[in-house]
Structure 1
Amino acid sequence: MLRSLPSKFGPSKERDDGPNRAIWDTRAVRDALARGDLGAVVRAVRRANNITLAELAARSNYSISTLSRLERGKQSLRDTHVLRSLAAALQFPPELLGVADPPRLPMHPLHPPAIVGLTRGPDEETEPMRRRTLLTGLAGTVTVLGVAPSSGVAQASDPLHQLERALLATPTTGVPVHLRQLDQQVTAARSMFDHGHYAALANGLPRLLSTATATHSSGTTNDIAATSALLARAYVVAAQLSVKFSHDQLAWTTADRAMQAAQVSNDPLIRAQARRSWAIVLRRTGHTDTAAQLILDTAASLQAQPHRDVNNLATFAALLSTAAYTAATSGDRDGARTLIDEAAHAAAQVEHNHPGAVAGFGTGSVVLYQVSIARVLGDAGTAIDTARRIDPASIRSAETRARYWSDVARAFHQWGKFEQCYGALRAAEHAAPDEVRYRKPIQQITFDLLQDPHSAALPGLRSFADRTGTRAP
């Protein structure tokens, strides 16, 4: 039976420490300085200035979840670049955070992590709630969407610019197509995401969404539920891509539209997919409690379905995994552990009761979430140990394989093992170059590696930085 998250799951409400008091005179800041708790200093200064986590995230280019972990001491706050960035965003002297002489994370030269450790591999994990088969190759994808995968040449700094203009400006008139053709186009878009061709997908999405909207509104088909489902699927892909690029405003727009279209589809799995996308956006923008409740309510509704096939059960496991990660971003270890254990049980049922079924989410997918959960909870060593249970070569989706290596890199970075971190970044680039070319967390890690005197001399690092668009310090 699905249980509700404990009340401590969500963040506490924040209060101002007095509008007429100087920031340095507040008790919270003085106490935090006395303890040497830099995260608490940042939190106290932010509160004294009446700045929300979302506002600080916009100023500093760090995610809300990262800032929350830094403030609560769940993630080390020692990096000079991070400290200076936060001081600049909050407009106070960086010396208050001891930037002049920051402690350095220890370096332990180990073997490069070309292989984290191989014992068993996961089933395919593309999109956890995907119910359709990927196209067999990119040739069909290019033909259907009319765009080509990105080459090794660096793309524009903001590949989502055209998509943003198309969504936020006056809608353009698309040409309706037959449902079968629209289904092919939406499936092609999903395939491009799963292959890690994010820039090419961004170029093709405006036309796809225009076509899907026109088909949905044309009135040429009596199956409004089917066209709504296809429209929702298209917007879910757009929302996922927006999240990948840390474009929360665009993710909010696309996920909201996916929710609206899915509601008319009468398909519980399409609704679950759209609600999951919406919950992820809510979590990223600071609405953690609402996100958690939405995910759990959706999972409970699937659990109550009288006929639960393999796709229903796989979707249920995916929702619980997302809920577990959401709990972890709030520092709720017990909630995260409980939910991921339930997800693992559901995924095991998928594999036991439906051997060989392509449901898009199995026990290997849960392990990937366990890596991410351990990392966001600050347990870098546990994250790496968990990653050793996965053979990355067995992950059939390039996007998922690149995301696996990105998580490994972030865990090694958190642990202070920069050489191993760089090796994992190169593996992520090999799996899907766009994964490292456009993701802000990867660019931040690359910048940190360039700043560190030990890792800055790693072979090929500066060329890697050029390919990711990271400026050398």
Structure 2
Amino acid sequence: MSGRASDPIVIPDSLWQRPQMIEALTARDIRTVFHLLRQYAGASQTQIAIACGMSQGKVSETMKKGGRQVTTLEVFERIADGLQMPDPARMTLGLAPRTLPAFTSPTTTNATVITPRDAPADLVPPTFLGSLDVDPNVEEGDPVHRRTFGKLAGASVFSAILADLPSDGAPLQGVEAFAAALAGYPAINDDPSPAALSIARLDAAVAAAKRNYQDCKYSTVINSLPALLADLRNACATYDGDARLQAEALSAEAHHVAASILLKLDHEGLAWLAADRSMQAARRSQDLTIIGSSARIITHALMNDGHHGAATKTASTYAERIDHDIDQRTPDFVSVYGALLLRGAVAAGQRSDRHTAASLLDEAEDAGRELGGDFNHRWTAFGPTNVQLHRVNIALQLGDAGAAIQHARSVDLSRIPLTERKATLLIDTSRALTQWGKHDKAYDVLRFAHQLAPEEISARPAVHRMLGDLMATAPPSIKRQLKEFTTEIGVRL
């Protein structure tokens, strides 16, 4: 529970040592710092504002997703002082410590060096501080002295960053490979292999990427998709006529998968780029169903960036457009149409627009009845059961944990053929149980989700944050089990 405005913030020493806090300080991500204070110290926005010499409105704006971020040194100093950050935390933030170490003479080679947390000591030359000319008349608390030491701390971080970079010519992997592929590297091949650019081969590769994503085999997708994006770019530049339209449709689907993976990994900037590429290719394909599918990922990217109103409008507008312009309501069309309505309903739920969320859910339910069952046309997993899964999620977004549990009880898990959809339901159910105070059941559901889809639990930052919430509120017996579980699966909280 958040503290009263008049209460001081009591920050446990362990908070500054948490991996999430260290990462936030390293990135100078004050938004996350404030959220961690609220989560682990129970600090209200007003308490944070009073401690840091800010208005409550500015704290609120900073804590919003996509809100104003702190960029000036003076404000960083004020926040660090107000929160009484210990010296390792201040240095990780790139500021000078409050207590400086004793300086030795320039000829001494074993000078004491304070390095930022997690930076290997051997990355900081032992004579770094000893080589600095220090005015003995300057007191340790003097601002000039502190700024000078702050520069040295920053240099230490700089050395650590450079030491971790791959050597020239090392192959790009993981998200970096996605970034390169989305930026157009490697360049279009002037003489591509006909076999590599075969529409049949590309169609099979895109289908495999979609299937692996729905099976929660994210590492497989991450390893294979960047090269496929490059092949599709070559194909779109090579073919003409109907083959070109087919290649553009496949490119739209592949970029849709890329954006979905990047959103799961919290790489929102790259996800936006991939989503935009998906929509551009969809429009060039001249296929309304593909355009509707790409509108889903645009809506998802808008939601993740905090633009819930725009996301709702985008989903409903595209749904109306394709419904108006389509000639035949094929199963593919109805599935994409219904899935787009569901995405809009989620966005409405995230902005607490109950009326719009309920209306879009009901329209999606009608589409599910029209479809006549649970299918995976155009990789949507759309059908009546998927509508019910979204009712669980939206009730949770609206703060109705009890309603979310009731909806979850009505879902037959055996009717959900896709691993990713099952895992999402289990995670939403665990969140609802946590809100309801049923920590033991929330933990049991998460363990089941990990058995079903290990990468959905171990690879997603959003799930890690949920585990942190459960750890923060659970009783000691569940905390111990959670600690063992997260250690077992390699998640640091």
TM-aligned CA distance change 1:267 to 1:377, over 3 Å = same
* Separation (CA, whole Å) in 2 of partners of 1:442 and 1:57: 25
Would you say 1:369 and 2:390 are equivalent positions? yes
Alignment check: 8 A CA contact 2:433 2:441 kept = yes
User: 1:238 corresponds to which residue?
Assistant: 258
User: 1:107 corresponds to which residue?
Assistant: none
Would you say 1:179 and 2:215 are equivalent positions? no
Query: Which AA in structure 2 matches 1:183?
Result: D
Query: Which AA in structure 1 matches 2:357?
Result: A
Query: Which AA in structure 1 matches 2:179?
Result: E
Would you say 1:47 and 2:53 are equivalent positions? no
* Offset, 1:340: 0.8
Would you say 1:396 and 2:404 are equivalent positions? no
* Offset, 1:441: 2.4
* Offset, 1:406: 0.9
TM-aligned CA distance change 1:455 to 1:307, over 3 Å = farther
* Separation (CA, whole Å) in 2 of partners of 1:401 and 1:88: 46
Alignment check: 8 A CA contact 2:440 2:478 kept = no
* Separation (CA, whole Å) in 1 of partners of 2:226 and 2:411: 36
* Separation (CA, whole Å) in 2 of partners of 1:92 and 1:378: 35
Would you say 1:422 and 2:443 are equivalent positions? yes
Cα deviation 1:149-194 (Å, max 9, x = unaligned): xxxxxxxxx9423322432474444545110110000000001001
SS of the residue corresponding to residue 361 of structure 1 reads coil
* Offset, 1:40: 7.6
* Offset, 1:233: 0.6
* Separation (CA, whole Å) in 2 of partners of 1:227 and 1:393: 35
* Separation (CA, whole Å) in 2 of partners of 1:189 and 1:180: 14
Structure 2: gaps spanning 5 or more residues: 1-41, 50-54, 71-75, 85-172
Query: Which AA in structure 1 matches 2:285?
Result: S
Alignment check: 8 A CA contact 2:235 2:244 kept = no
* Offset, 1:404: 1.0
* Separation (CA, whole Å) in 2 of partners of 1:382 and 1:441: 22
Moved more, 248-257 or 171-180: 171-180
Alignment counterpart, residue 162 of structure 1, candidates 154, 158, 177:
177
TM-aligned CA distance change 1:378 to 1:212, over 3 Å = same
Alignment check: 8 A CA contact 2:214 2:419 kept = yes
Would you say 1:210 and 2:230 are equivalent positions? yes
SS of the residue corresponding to residue 308 of structure 1 reads coil
* Separation (CA, whole Å) in 2 of partners of 1:357 and 1:403: 17
* Separation (CA, whole Å) in 1 of partners of 2:376 and 2:468: 39
TM-aligned CA distance change 1:315 to 1:381, over 3 Å = same
Query: Which AA in structure 2 matches 1:471?
Result: R
* Offset, 1:225: 1.1
Identity %: 28
User: 1:273 corresponds to which residue?
Assistant: 293
Cα deviation 1:84-122 (Å, max 9, x = unaligned): xxx999779579xxxxxxxxxxxxxxxxxxxxxxxxxxx
User: 2:355 corresponds to which residue?
Assistant: 334
* Separation (CA, whole Å) in 2 of partners of 1:432 and 1:219: 39
Cα deviation 1:224-248 (Å, max 9, x = unaligned): 2111001101000101111111211
Cα deviation 1:396-443 (Å, max 9, x = unaligned): 111111111111111112222211111111111111100001112221
TM-aligned CA distance change 1:223 to 1:283, over 3 Å = same
User: 1:250 corresponds to which residue?
Assistant: 270
SS of the residue corresponding to residue 54 of structure 1 reads coil
* Separation (CA, whole Å) in 2 of partners of 1:236 and 1:54: 23
Alignment check: 8 A CA contact 1:412 1:418 kept = yes
* Offset, 1:450: 3.6
Compute the TM-score of the two structures, normalised by the length of structure 2: 0.64
- 1:414-453 matched pairs, under 5 angstroms: 414-452=435-473
SS of the residue corresponding to residue 160 of structure 1 reads helix
Q: Which entry has the higher C-alpha Rg, 1 or 2?
A: 2
Alignment check: 8 A CA contact 2:431 2:466 kept = yes
Moved more, 269-278 or 211-220: 211-220
* Separation (CA, whole Å) in 1 of partners of 2:340 and 2:419: 22
Alignment counterpart, residue 341 of structure 2, candidates 295, 304, 320:
320
Alignment check: 8 A CA contact 2:268 2:304 kept = yes
Would you say 1:197 and 2:208 are equivalent positions? no
* Separation (CA, whole Å) in 2 of partners of 1:357 and 1:196: 18
Would you say 1:224 and 2:235 are equivalent positions? no
* Separation (CA, whole Å) in 1 of partners of 2:295 and 2:259: 11
TM-aligned CA distance change 1:356 to 1:191, over 3 Å = closer
TM-aligned CA distance change 1:162 to 1:372, over 3 Å = same
TM-aligned CA distance change 1:193 to 1:325, over 3 Å = same
* Separation (CA, whole Å) in 2 of partners of 1:242 and 1:323: 20
Alignment check: 8 A CA contact 2:401 2:432 kept = yes
User: 2:365 corresponds to which residue?
Assistant: 344
User: 2:131 corresponds to which residue?
Assistant: none
SS of the residue corresponding to residue 313 of structure 1 reads helix
Query: Which AA in structure 2 matches 1:45?
Result: Q
TM-aligned CA distance change 1:209 to 1:434, over 3 Å = same
Alignment check: 8 A CA contact 2:374 2:383 kept = no
Alignment counterpart, residue 296 of structure 1, candidates 316, 321, 336:
316
Query: Which AA in structure 1 matches 2:356?
Result: G
Would you say 1:306 and 2:327 are equivalent positions? yes
Cα deviation 1:182-234 (Å, max 9, x = unaligned): 00000000010011100111111111111111111123765221110011010
User: 1:464 corresponds to which residue?
Assistant: 485
Alignment check: 8 A CA contact 2:309 2:347 kept = no
SS of the residue corresponding to residue 471 of structure 1 reads coil
Alignment check: 8 A CA contact 2:249 2:287 kept = yes
* Offset, 1:371: 0.4
TM-aligned CA distance change 1:220 to 1:320, over 3 Å = closer
**Number of residue pairs matched?**
345
Moved more, 451-460 or 423-432: 451-460
TM-aligned CA distance change 1:415 to 1:256, over 3 Å = same
* Offset, 1:449: 3.6
* Offset, 1:284: 1.7
* Separation (CA, whole Å) in 2 of partners of 1:333 and 1:449: 27
